[in-house]
Structure 1
Amino acid sequence: MKSKSPRTLYNYLQFKNISTRKSNNTYNIISILFTKQTKQLFWFILFIYSPLSAQNIVSGKIGSESGIILDNANITIRTVNKETVAFGVTNQNGEFSFSVKSGSYILRVSHIGYNTKQIEFEISDKTLSFETITLNEGYTELEEIIMDAEKKSVIQKGDTTHYYVSHFLNGTEQNLKNIIEKLPGLSISENGKITANGKTIDKLLIEGEELFKKQHQLATENISSKMVKNIELIRNYKSFETVNNDKETGVTALNVKIKDTYKNKISGNVESHYGRKDRYKLNIPGFVFKERLKLSIILNSNNLGTSPMGIEDYFDLTEQSQNKTNESQVIISNLNEVPRFLNPNNKVASSQTHFGTISLISTPSEKIKHDFYGIFNYSNQDEINSKQLTFNNTYETFSALENNSINEKNYFGVFKLNSIYKPNNYNTYQFKNQLNIDNTNLIKNVNSLTETQNTQVTESLTPKKIIFDSEISLNKTINSNYFSSNISYHYLRHNLYHELESNVPLFDIDFKNRNFNLKETILKENNKVSTNTSYLINKNKKTFSLYSNTFFSNNKLNSNTNELNEFSNNLNLKCFQSKTGFDLTLKPSKKIRLTAGINYNFAHNYLNKHYSNNLFLGYKSNFKVIFNSNHITELSYNYLNFSPEIDNLISGFIIKDYRSLIANNNISANDIFPYHQIRFSHFIFNPKSLFSYMFNIIYNIKDKALGENIVINQNFSITQSKTTNKDDTFNAFVFIDKTLKEFPLSISSSLSYSWNDKVYFLDDEQANFKQENISGMFKFSSNFKDFIANFNAGIKFSKDNFTNNNTSSRFVLYQPFLNIEGCITKQISWNLESKLSKYTNNKSEQYLRIISPKIRYLSLNSNWEFYISGNDILNLNRPIILDNNSTPTYFEEKRTYILQGYIIFGTKLNF
Structure 2
Amino acid sequence: MQKIIFLLFWFASISVHSQEIIVKGTITDKDGLGIQNASITILDDNDDSVEYTFTDDKGSYGLSFQKENLSSLKLEISCLGYSKTSKLITAVSQVQNFVLEKKVETLKEVIVEASQKIKKEQDTTTIKVASFGNKTEQTLEDVLKKLPSIEVQQDGSIKAHGVAIDKLLIEGEDMFDKNYKLLTKNLDANVLDAVQIIDGYEDNPVLKKMNNSDKVALNLKLKKGKKNIWFGNATLGAGIVSQNRWKESLNLGLIRKEIKLFYLADYNNLGEKATDLVSSNVMENDIFSEDRLEYTAKSLFTINSNEIGLFSKTQSIFNIAFLNSLSFTKKIKKNLSLRGVAYLANDKQNQNSFAETNYNFGANPISFTENSFYKSRNSLASIELELKYYPDDKNYITNLFLFKEHPSKTNNNLLFNTSEINQSSKNNNYTFYNHFNHTLQLDHNKILNNYIYFGNDKMEENAKIISPLLNSFLEVNSGEVIQQKSNNSLFYIGDKTKLITQFDNVDLTNSLQFEYSKEIFANQFRIVEQRFPDYENNLNLNKIKVSFDNAVRYNFSKKINFTASLNLQNTNFNTSIDNKNFWIVNPTILLNIKKTRFGNFTVSYSENNDLPEINQLTSNFQLMDYRSFLKGTSFQNPLKNSVTQFTYSIYQDQKRFSVNTGIIYMKSKTILNTASTITNDFNFSSSVQTPGGDNFNFNFSVVNYLRKLKLASKIETIHNWNTSPFSVNNDVFLIAKNYSNTIKYTATTYFKKGINFDGGFAYHFNKSVFDGNTNENRTKDVFLNLNYPISEVLLAECNNALYFVNNQNYTFSNLVLNYNPLESRFSFRLIFNNILNEDKFTFVTLNNFTFYQSSVDLVPRYLLGTVKYRF
Identical amino acids, percent of aligned pairs = 19
Moved more, 355-364 or 89-98: 89-98
**How many Å separate the matches in 1 of 2:666 and 2:296?**
17
1:522 to 470, 483, 486: 486
Name the counterpart of 1:799.
Answer: 765
**How many Å separate the matches in 1 of 2:695 and 2:28?**
50
Name the counterpart of 1:875.
Answer: 837
Report the Cα offset of residue 200 of structure 1. 3.8
The letter of the residue matching 1:575 is K
Contact 2:605/2:645 (8 A) holds in 1: yes
Q: Indicate yes or no: 2:282 matched with 1:319.
A: yes
Q: Residues 471 and 167 of structure 1: is their aligned pair in 2 closer, same or farther, counting only changes over 3 Å?
A: closer
Q: Residues 306 and 337 of structure 1: is their aligned pair in 2 closer, same or farther, counting only changes over 3 Å?
A: same
Name the counterpart of 2:150.
Answer: 186
Deviations 1:682-740 (A, max 9, x none): 11011343211111222221110111111111211111111121133333221211112
**How many Å separate the matches in 1 of 2:471 and 2:813?**
46
Name the counterpart of 2:459.
Answer: 494
Contact 1:197/1:693 (8 A) holds in 2: no
1:369-768 equivalent positions in 2, closer than 5 A: 369-392=337-360, 396-449=364-417, 454-477=418-441, 478-506=443-471, 508-511=473-476, 513-562=477-526, 563-608=531-576, 610-628=578-596, 631-664=599-632, 666-668=633-635, 671-762=637-728, 763-768=730-735
Deviations 1:76-115 (A, max 9, x none): 99xxxxxxxxx95437977535599xxxxxx996412356
**How many Å separate the matches in 2 of 1:462 and 1:61?**
61
Q: Residues 890 and 67 of structure 1: is their aligned pair in 2 closer, same or farther, counting only changes over 3 Å?
A: farther
Q: Indicate yes or no: 2:858 matched with 1:898.
A: yes
Report the Cα offset of residue 456 of structure 1. 1.8
Name the counterpart of 2:244.
Answer: 278
2:40 to 73, 88, 91: 73
Deviations 1:157-194 (A, max 9, x none): 11122223343344444443443333333343333333
Secondary structure, aligned partner of 1:566: helix
Q: Residues 808 and 898 of structure 1: is their aligned pair in 2 closer, same or farther, counting only changes over 3 Å?
A: farther
Q: Residues 525 and 495 of structure 1: is their aligned pair in 2 closer, same or farther, counting only changes over 3 Å?
A: same
**How many Å separate the matches in 2 of 1:139 and 1:532?**
52
Contact 1:393/1:712 (8 A) holds in 2: no
**How many Å separate the matches in 2 of 1:339 and 1:362?**
43
Q: In the comparison of the two structures, how many residue pairs are matched?
A: 827
Name the counterpart of 1:861.
Answer: 823
Name the counterpart of 1:5.
Answer: none
Q: Which runs of 5+ in 1 are unaligned?
A: 1-45, 78-86, 101-106
Contact 2:698/2:720 (8 A) holds in 1: yes
Contact 1:108/1:116 (8 A) holds in 2: no
Report the Cα offset of residue 121 of structure 1. 14
Moved more, 196-205 or 286-295: 196-205
Secondary structure, aligned partner of 1:307: coil
**How many Å separate the matches in 2 of 1:626 and 1:826?**
46
**How many Å separate the matches in 2 of 1:662 and 1:737?**
46
Name the counterpart of 2:743.
Answer: 776
**How many Å separate the matches in 2 of 1:160 and 1:99?**
19
1:181-330 equivalent positions in 2, closer than 5 A: 181-197=145-161, 199-239=163-203, 241=205, 243-275=207-239, 276-308=242-274, 310=276, 313-314=277-278, 316-319=279-282
Q: Residues 227 and 580 of structure 1: is their aligned pair in 2 closer, same or farther, counting only changes over 3 Å?
A: same
Q: Residues 149 and 556 of structure 1: is their aligned pair in 2 closer, same or farther, counting only changes over 3 Å?
A: same
Q: Residues 671 and 394 of structure 1: is their aligned pair in 2 closer, same or farther, counting only changes over 3 Å?
A: farther
Name the counterpart of 1:3.
Answer: none
Contact 1:850/1:872 (8 A) holds in 2: yes
Q: Residues 247 and 649 of structure 1: is their aligned pair in 2 closer, same or farther, counting only changes over 3 Å?
A: same
Contact 1:635/1:680 (8 A) holds in 2: yes
**How many Å separate the matches in 2 of 1:536 and 1:91?**
26
**How many Å separate the matches in 2 of 1:140 and 1:49?**
42
Report the Cα offset of residue 219 of structure 1. 3.2
The letter of the residue matching 2:622 is I
1:107-126 equivalent positions in 2, closer than 5 A: 110-113=76-79, 116=85
**How many Å separate the matches in 2 of 1:280 and 1:909?**
17
Q: Residues 351 and 814 of structure 1: is their aligned pair in 2 closer, same or farther, counting only changes over 3 Å?
A: same
The letter of the residue matching 2:483 is K
**How many Å separate the matches in 1 of 2:451 and 2:557?**
33
Q: What TM-score does the superposition give when structure 2 sets the normalisation length?
A: 0.87
Contact 2:500/2:508 (8 A) holds in 1: yes
Contact 1:280/1:303 (8 A) holds in 2: yes
Contact 1:217/1:309 (8 A) holds in 2: no
**How many Å separate the matches in 2 of 1:691 and 1:320?**
33
Q: What TM-score does the superposition give when structure 1 sets the normalisation length?
A: 0.83
Contact 2:283/2:294 (8 A) holds in 1: no
Secondary structure, aligned partner of 1:357: strand
Q: Residues 355 and 174 of structure 1: is their aligned pair in 2 closer, same or farther, counting only changes over 3 Å?
A: closer
Moved more, 471-480 or 617-626: 471-480
**How many Å separate the matches in 2 of 1:329 and 1:867?**
43
Secondary structure, aligned partner of 2:208: coil
Q: Indicate yes or no: 2:785 matched with 1:819.
A: yes
Moved more, 154-163 or 279-288: 154-163
**How many Å separate the matches in 2 of 1:342 and 1:134?**
61
**How many Å separate the matches in 1 of 2:75 and 2:587?**
45
Name the counterpart of 1:9.
Answer: none
Report the Cα offset of residue 806 of structure 1. 2.8
Contact 1:245/1:482 (8 A) holds in 2: no
Report the Cα offset of residue 893 of structure 1. 1.2
Q: Residues 821 and 183 of structure 1: is their aligned pair in 2 closer, same or farther, counting only changes over 3 Å?
A: same
Q: Residues 724 and 200 of structure 1: is their aligned pair in 2 closer, same or farther, counting only changes over 3 Å?
A: same
Q: Which runs of 5+ in 2 are unaligned?
A: 1-14, 45-49, 67-72
Q: Indicate yes or no: 2:19 matched with 1:50.
A: yes
Q: Residues 156 and 116 of structure 1: is their aligned pair in 2 closer, same or farther, counting only changes over 3 Å?
A: closer
Q: Residues 630 and 225 of structure 1: is their aligned pair in 2 closer, same or farther, counting only changes over 3 Å?
A: farther
Q: Residues 218 and 871 of structure 1: is their aligned pair in 2 closer, same or farther, counting only changes over 3 Å?
A: farther
**How many Å separate the matches in 1 of 2:125 and 2:98?**
24
**How many Å separate the matches in 2 of 1:501 and 1:889?**
29
Moved more, 535-544 or 363-372: 363-372
**How many Å separate the matches in 2 of 1:67 and 1:337?**
60
Report the Cα offset of residue 146 of structure 1. 13
